[in-house]
Structure 1
Amino acid sequence: MIPQHLFRNSLTTHAEFDSKTDAIDVAKAFPRKVQGKTILVTGVNKTGLGFSALHAFASQSPAHLILASRSSDKIKECIDALKAEFPNVKYHALNLDLSTQKSVRAAASELLSWDEIDALDIVVNCAAVFGFGETQRTVTDDGLELHFATNHIGHWLFTNLIMPKIIKAATRNPKGATRVINVSSGSPFTAGIRWSDINFEKMTKDLPEDEQPSEFLHKMFGMTINEETVYTYLEAYNQSKVANVLFTVAANARLYEKYGIVALSLHPGIIRTELGRNATKEQREIINDMKNDYKTLSQGSSTTLVAALDPKVVDGLTAQEPVVFLADCKMIALPPKSSSKENAERLWSLSEELTQEKFSW
C-alpha cells in the first residue's frame, strides 16, 4: 500500500482514476492523444502488460502500433488478436532481444529504415525479466548482469538509437505530447543502484552500507541473506527498476526543454503476469500469503496510459523538480536515491561506458 501523502493528485487530469481504473477507460478519456499516432511497445505477449496497453491504444484508432519482442510467435499472436478487434490499425512486428546489444542495434537499425514509419509519437518500454528462483547470476554476452542488461541497458540503448524518429514526432506535436514511458516497479520506493558493484561480484560485507541488500525485503520473498551473500535475483531486479527511473530523469534533462519530449516512469502495481513464470511453488505460496491487492492486466496498464496520454502530468516537470513517476494513475514522489538528478547523470555516464556509445542531438 502506497502512503497517500506521496500522491500528487493535482498533477493529473482525472483525480477519479485510481488503482481500479481500466486502461481502456484512460484511453477513452484522451482519444485525440491517440488518434493517428504511431506508438511502439516493447515486451509484448498476450498475458502481459504490453499487450494490455496495446489493446487500450488500439481502441482509439492510432495510425500505427509497433510490437517489439524477442519472440516472433508472441508478436504474431498479439497482432492476430488486435486485428480481430481493431482491423483498421496498421500493426508492425519488430524482433528485439533487449539482453544483447547486438540485437538492440539491429532492431533499431531496422526500425530507422522503415519509410512508412517516419516518426514515433509514444514509446512504451515495458519489457522486463525477473529471475525468480535464480541462485546464480547470469551474465550476458556483453558481460553484464542479465537484469541490468535487459531491463535498463537494452531499453536505454534502443531508445537513444531510435531517437531521430522520436524527435521527428516532436516537431509535429505540442510540447509534452511526444513521450517515452519506462515501466518500472515498486522497487524505487526502497532500493537504489549498487554503484560499487553493478555486476554483483562482491559479498555483502564488502559493500558500502547504503548499497547492502535489504534483509527485510528478502525475507518477504522467503530469502535469507548474510554478509557473504553475493547475488540475489531480487536485488538485481530492484537495481534495474531503479535504473528505469534514473534513465527517465536524465532523458528529461536532455529532451524536454530542447525538443518538448517528455519521459515518465511508473509503478504498474502488482499483477499476475509471465514475469513470475519461473517462481517455485514455495515462492508462489509466499507471494500469495502476502495478501497483495492484485490488479487485472487492464488495471495494471492504466497508469501506463495516464503517463502516455494525460497532458497535465507535465505541469510539474521543471529543471529544479523533475516530477517523473506515477502509481495508481497519479503522480507520486520518490526518495532522492532513486530519482535525483545527480544519480541520473551518474547512471547516464555509466550507460555510455557500458555500451561504448554517446548520444547528442
Structure 2
Amino acid sequence: MSTYDQYTEGLTLVHKFAEGEGLVILLTGPTPGGIGAETLVSLAAESPAMLIVVGRSAEKAQATIDAIKGVNADVKAKFVEADLTSLKSVRKAAQIIREDTEIAKIDVVINNAAVMATPRMNSPTHQFRAPIHGRAVRGPEFHRAGLVQRVLGLRAIQERHHPVCGSLASRGTHAFAVHAGRISTNLQCYTKQMIGDEFMEKFDEASRRVTGMSLADARELDPYKTLQQGCGTTLRAALDPNLVKEGVYMNDTLLTTDPKWVKAWATNPDFAERLWTMSEELVGEKFVF
C-alpha cells in the first residue's frame, strides 16, 4: 500500500509494519467495542512482545484480553488498574509498571482513553512517561479546542531537552496527536442521553463556532468510519518507522500541517512551553526527561 486515507484499516497497517513484532505497547482505554480495544486486538496479529492494558475495570479489560488471546494466544497481555481521574490511582499504576521486572522498557504509549460531554475532570496520564523509549500517541481528538491543547502539549514534549542527551525527538522519541474520525462507540453515551431539539441547536451552534460549519456539513465532510478505519491513524502513528517528518497531528492516517486542521498558533513553541509550565504547576510536579 503506497497511499493512506480515511479508509485505511488498522489490520492492514499492523501487517504492513511487521516491525511492530517484539514491541512492548501500553494503551489506556481498552473498553470492548471502542477504538482502544480494536487497536489492541489488531496489534495481536503480529506478535508484540507485550500489550499493557490500562483501565479502570478489570472485567472490561479481561474481555479485551480474551479477544487478544483469541487472535494470538501467545501474546502476553498484562492488565494494570488505573482511574485516570485520580492522580493517586495513576501514580500507583505508574509505580506498578516501573517496578515490574518484566517491563524493561515501553516502546509505544497510546493514550487512547477519552471522555465526552461529561463534567470537567483531569486525566493525569503524564505519569506513564517512564521508561518510554519510542513513541507516544495521543488520541482520539474530536474537536479543535481539544486538538489545540493536545498539539501544544505534544509540541512541548517533542522539545523537552536534557542538558546531556538532547531533545526527546533527537533521541528517537516522537509524539503524535491523532484524529480517529467520526465513529459510533460508547464514548457518545452521555450525548445520546441529552439529544433533543434544544441540545441539537446548541450543538450545531458550537460546531459553527469551532469548525465554521454546521453539524450536517461536518458530517458530510467527515463521515462515520468503522472501528477498523478508526484505529488506522493510531496504528500508523504507533508503528510506521518512517513517520518522523515535521508535525505532530495526524488525520485519516496522514501526518498533516494543513491549516484547515492545525492553526499556526497551535504549534507555537512559546505557547507550548507556557502550557507545559502551567501543567507542571497544576499537578505540582516537575518533569525531567
Instruction: Name the TM-score class by shorter chain.
Output: 0.7 to 0.9
Measure how far apart 1:128 and its partner are.
Answer: 0.8
* 1:282–1:43 distance in 2 versus 1, CA, 3 Å: closer
What do residues 202-236 of structure 1 show as CA deviations (whole Å, max 9, x unaligned)? xxxxxxxxxxxxxxxxxxxxxxxxxxxxxxxxxxx
Matched residues in 2 for 1:342 and 1:60: separation? 40
Q: Is 2:282 the counterpart of 1:326?
A: no
Amino acid at match of 2:50: H
- 8 Å CA contact 1:65–1:91 kept in 2: the answer is yes
Q: 1:182 aligns with which of 129, 135, 138?
A: 138
> Following the alignment from structure 1 to structure 2, what is the Cα–Cα distance between the partners of residues 308 and 19?
17
On the 8 A contact 2:41/2:67 being kept in 1, the answer is: no
Counterpart selection for 2:8 from 21, 28, 31? 21
The equivalent of 1:302 in structure 2 is: 232
Does the residue aligned with 1:275 lie in a helix, a strand or coil? helix
The runs of 5 or more residues in structure 2 that have no matched partner are 161-166, 204-214
- 1:95 partnered with 2:51: no
CA contact (8 A) 2:31 2:64 kept: yes
Q: Match of 2:156?
A: 250
Give the aligned partner of residue 7 of structure 1. Answer: none
Following superposition, the deviation at residue 336 of structure 1 comes to 2.5
Q: 3-state SS of the aligned residue for 1:315?
A: coil
**Aligned-residue identity in percent:** 33
Aligned equivalent of 1:283: 195
Give distance in 1, aligned partners of 2:226 and 2:284.
40
Say whether the 8 Å CA contact 1:184–1:244 is kept in structure 2.
Answer: no
More divergent stretch after superposition (114-123 vs 251-260): 251-260
8 A Cα contact 2:51 2:77, kept in partner = yes
The one of 173, 183, 186 aligned to 1:274: 186
1:83 maps to amino acid: K
What is the root-mean-square deviation of aligned Cα atoms in Å? Answer: 2.0
In 2, Cα distance between equivalents of 1:118 and 1:76? 23
Partner of 1:315: 245
Residue-by-residue CA offset, 1:320-359 (whole Å, 9 max, x unaligned): xxx1111001111111232221221111101100111101
8 Å CA contact 1:184–1:245 kept in 2: the answer is: no
AA at the equivalent of 1:354: L
Instruction: Give TM-score scaled by structure 1 length.
Output: 0.68
Match of 1:346 among 274, 277, 284: 274
Whole-Å separation in 1 of the counterparts to 2:196 and 2:75: 38
Secondary structure at the aligned position of 1:67 is classed as: strand
Q: Which amino acid aligns with 2:181?
A: G
- 1:42 aligned to which of 15, 28, 40: 28
Residue 51 (structure 2) aligns with: 65
> Is 1:128 matched up with 2:114?
yes
Greater RCO, 1 or 2 (C-alpha within 8 Å, sep 6+): 1
Per-residue deviation at 1:274? 1.3
Give 1:330's aligned amino acid: L
Calculate the TM-score normalised by the size of structure 2. Answer: 0.84
Pair 1:74 & 2:38 matched:
no
Provide closer, same or farther for how the CA distance between residues 84 and 338 of structure 1 changes in structure 2, counting only shifts above 3 A. Answer: same
Preserved contact between residue 265 and residue 325 of structure 1 (Cα < 8 Å) = yes
Check whether the contact 2:182–2:225 (CA below 8 A) recurs between aligned residues.
Answer: yes
Give the Cα separation in 2 of the matches to 1:284 and 1:109.
Answer: 44
Closer/same/farther in 2, CA of residues 251 and 56 from structure 1, 3 Å limit: same
Give the Å deviation of 1:284.
7.8
In the other structure, the counterpart of 1:208 is none
Match of 2:176 among 248, 258, 264: 264
Q: Which residue of 2 aligns with 1:204?
A: none
Residues in 1 aligned to 2:31 and 2:274: alpha-carbon distance in whole angstroms: 33
Is the CA contact 1:184–1:242 (under 8 Å) kept in the aligned structure 2? no
Q: Within 1, Cα distance between the matches of 2:135 and 2:54?
A: 17
Q: Tell me, in whole angstroms, the C-alpha distance in 2 between the residues paired with 1:98 and 1:242.
A: 21
Deviation for aligned residue 1:309: 1.3
Instruction: Kindly provide the amino acid, as one letter, of the partner of residue 243 in structure 2.
Output: V
